[in-house]
Amino acid sequence: MVMQYPAPANENDAKDDIVRAAAELFMNYGYSATSIDAIAEKLGATKGRIYHYYRSKSQIFFDIQRAAMTRLFEEVDPIARARLQPAEKLPLMAKAHLSLLIRDMPIQKVAVQGLEKYLFEAEGFRHAKTLAEINQLRDDYEQLFAEVIDAGTREGVFVKGSPRILTKPFFGAMNWATVWYRPRRTQSEDDIEMICSSLVDFAMRGLLVDKGGLHEAGG
């Protein structure tokens, strides 16, 4: 029988295909309820292909986390390094963050919600190192936002409060989209932009101190 493999060019692409397929199933059914066979079927292949690139199901999960954090950093870190005031910089970061969340929902949802992460923690030392690595990435990423929030607080443009406790609802307003958002066919690119802007605006108002601006009366 003549078998032709689509040939994903190189190993990285092949793994990326697996990661994408797995993330989509993890997002909908959870990690445990998703079988390797189901992932393979989504790729039009069998288990053999997956186990050729990954030694276990958990390794796929960890690669999803790494992929998600890598992409978030790529989008947000450059903005975080820009020379801008906190009140200007933060919404740009938030916009980039949220845009990626929505556009890359399967992978990002698995990462930000940390689906069933306690599964691996319970396994003890086996994945301790990998888990520490992932947590470090997540902490570093949160830190990008926490620092800007802290700076804004000290400048007096953001409300007072520990950056730790302010960062949580800030992310919450945006990340909660991974729980409620469902893509619609009737939704254009502009619609998505509108939603993103609304959520970012909400999150920013949560931080900004009342500026006492004159009532820009009525429209």
Partner DNA sequence: GGAATTACATACCTATGAGTATGGTTCTTC
Partner DNA sequence: GAAGAACCATACTCATAGGTATGTAATTCC
The residues that touch DNA, with contacts defined as CB under 7 A, are 1-8, 10-11, 14, 33-38, 40, 44-49, 51-53, 55-58
163 near 69, Cβ under 8 Å?
no
- What stretches of 82-162 show up as alpha helix (H) in DSSP? 86-103, 105-113, 118-121, 128-155
Least Å from the CB of residue 125 to DNA: 16
First to last CA, the chain: 71
Q: Does 206 bind its own copies (CB under 8 A)?
A: yes
- Judged by CB under 8 A, which of 6, 8, 78, 161 binds its own copies? 161
Tokens of 67: 């992929």
Amino acid identity at 155: E
Least Å from the CB of residue 180 to its own copies: 6
CB of 83 or CB of 211, closer to its own copies: 211
User: How far lies 209's CA from each of 87, 159, 215, in Å?
Assistant: 11, 5, 15
CB of 50 or CB of 196, closer to its own copies: 196
Residue 96 interacts with which of DNA, its own copies, none, CB < 5 to 8 Å by class? none
Partners of residue 208 on adjacent β-strands: 158
Q: Show the beta-strand stretches assigned E in the chain.
A: none
3 state DSSP class of 46: coil
Least Å from the CB of residue 116 to its own copies: 4
Q: Does 38 bind its own copies (CB under 8 A)?
A: no
User: Where on the chain is the footprint of its own copies (CB under 8 A)?
Assistant: 28-33, 112-116, 118-119, 122, 156, 159-161, 165-166, 168-177, 179-180, 195, 198-199, 202-203, 205-208, 210-215, 218-219
